[in-house]
């Protein structure tokens, strides 16, 4: 089979699979290779729990040793995936830069040409001092906190948000923009951005436009990074919005919008947002497959092969990494 099943040709994908669901990309990689289909460039993002991380609770809370971490990087190299660490704590201080375990992760990651999604400019500078050509990605959380919520720094006008992204492009290698911006301004006025080839667009954000609770929600999730047993749940305002209204106001990008961004406007980087550790693997495969590949004709054969290959991929991964995580997390609800 030498057909093209890709929805968006020539893009680089960032997928929420690092230190959690790497075997999913392994299975996709093997399936595409089996059918002689072009394999896209991918970055798998995530991080073990440490003082520099933020966002969703990680699958790994215990420390990883050097051998296991290096074996993981070797495994990723075999399946053409670049590790991307999510060092996105919004409350990082200069004192935190001294943390022994976080520096251990950073040093080995730098040796293996990893990328880093960063919120703090302090941490970006620290990484660049260690390796000037290290790839740093400006997290979408930077613009979320700047333009959303009761404590926002600026109103999200087109001019102010555009100026902010152009400023970040001078400081970071890749810049992730808010979906609110990419689905409107970036779609209609790509010329506003100085280098759109270094902009990354998140295409599956289910939140509503300019959610006022986003910063508060993210700070709540940050609590979980080191304390996984907090007996609290964040009350998202989406639960009170009728489903039909929610669907009309979601930030998930329609395929026609993404096609325009990629084929007409020059966007080269697409991102699928991270999910929690409780997301069933079958659901995650379905999400990734639907957003990355056409699901008609030969696409169905690829989709079936991915499921068939997954068990082998999971076993290979567990053997290579010495089961450094609780594998029931990876297998939950499979």
Rg (alpha carbons) of the chain, rounded to whole number? 19
Average pLDDT over residues 43-59: 82
- Per-residue pLDDT at 243: 63
> How sure is the predictor about 99, in pLDDT bands with cuts at 50, 70 and 90?
very high
For residues 244 and 193, which has the higher predicted lDDT (pLDDT)? 193
Average pLDDT over residues 244-272: 88
Q: Token digits for 22? A: 């790497």
- Per-residue pLDDT at 216: 74
**Per-residue pLDDT tens for 301-313?**
787 888 888 888 8
Residue 82 — φ and ψ, nearest 5°? -95, 125
Spatial separation of the C-alpha atoms in residues 152 and 80, rounded to whole Å: 39
Average pLDDT over residues 165-173: 98
Sign, CA dihedral 264-268-273-279, equals positive
- Judged by average pLDDT, the poorest of 125-134, 218-227, 258-267 is 218-227
Average pLDDT over residues 8-15: 97
Checking if the pLDDT of 12 tops 80, the result is yes
Q: Token digits for 164? A: 């902010």
- Judged by average pLDDT, the poorest of 109-113, 134-138, 148-152, 206-210 is 206-210
Average pLDDT over residues 7-23: 93
Checking if the pLDDT of 156 tops 90, the result is yes
- Per-residue pLDDT at 330: 38
Nearest to 207 by CA among 158, 234, 161, 246: 246
Checking if the pLDDT of 229 tops 60, the result is no
Checking if the pLDDT of 298 tops 60, the result is yes
Sign, CA dihedral 215-217-220-222, equals negative
Distance spanning both ends of the chain, measured CA to CA: 28
Spatial separation of the C-alpha atoms in residues 148 and 205, rounded to whole Å: 15
Where b means 16+ CB within 10 Å and e means fewer, 290-326 reads ebbbbeeebbeebbebbbebbeebbebbeeebeebbe
For residues 334 and 72, which has the higher predicted lDDT (pLDDT)? 72
Spatial separation of the C-alpha atoms in residues 146 and 163, rounded to whole Å: 13
For residues 315 and 195, which has the higher predicted lDDT (pLDDT)? 195
The DSSP symbol for 249 reads T
Q: Which fold has domain 12-331?
A: TIM Barrel (3.20.20)
- Per-residue pLDDT at 258: 98
> How sure is the predictor about 139, in pLDDT bands with cuts at 50, 70 and 90?
very high
Residue 324: C-alpha distances to residues 140, 144, 240, 318 (Å):
29, 33, 40, 8
């Amino acid at each position: 089979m030498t057909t093209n099943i890709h929805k968006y040709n020539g893009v680089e994908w960032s997928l929420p699979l690092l230190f959690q669901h790497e075997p999913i990309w392994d299975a996709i990689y093997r399936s595409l290779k089996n059918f002689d289909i072009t394999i896209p460039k991918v970055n798998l993002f995530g991080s073990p729990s440490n003082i520099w991380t933020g966002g969703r609770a990680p699958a790994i809370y215990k420390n990883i040793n050097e051998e296991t971490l290096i074996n993981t990087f070797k495994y990723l190299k075999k399946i053409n995936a670049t590790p991307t660490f999510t060092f996105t704590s919004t409350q990082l201080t200069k004192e935190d830069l001294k943390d022994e375990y976080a520096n251990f992760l950073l040093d080995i990651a730098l040796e293996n040409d990893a990328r880093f999604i960063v919120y703090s400019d302090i941490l970006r500078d620290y990484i660049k001092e260690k390796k000037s050509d290290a790839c740093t990605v400006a997290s979408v959380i930077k613009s979320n906190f700047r333009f959303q919520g009761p404590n926002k720094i600026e109103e999200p006008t087109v001019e102010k948000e555009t100026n902010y992204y152009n400023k970040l492009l001078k400081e970071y290698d890749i810049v992730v923009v808010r979906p609110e911006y990419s689905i409107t301004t970036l779609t209609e006025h790509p010329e506003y951005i100085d280098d759109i080839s270094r902009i990354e667009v998140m295409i599956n954000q289910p939140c509503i436009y300019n959610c006022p609770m986003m910063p508060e929600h993210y700070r709540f999730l940050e609590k979980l990074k080191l304390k996984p047993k907090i007996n609290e749940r964040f009350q998202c305002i989406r639960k009170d919005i009728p489903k039909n209204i929610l669907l009309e106001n979601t930030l998930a990008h329609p395929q026609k919008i993404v096609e325009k961004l990629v084929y007409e406007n020059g966007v080269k980087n697409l991102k699928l947002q991270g999910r929690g550790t409780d997301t069933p693997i079958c659901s995650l495969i379905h999400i990734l497959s639907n957003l990355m590949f056409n699901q008609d004709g030969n696409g169905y054969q690829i989709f079936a092969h991915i499921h068939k290959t997954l068990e082998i991929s999971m076993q290979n991964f567990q053997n290579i990494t010495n089961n450094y995580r609780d594998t029931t997390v990876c297998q939950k609800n499979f």
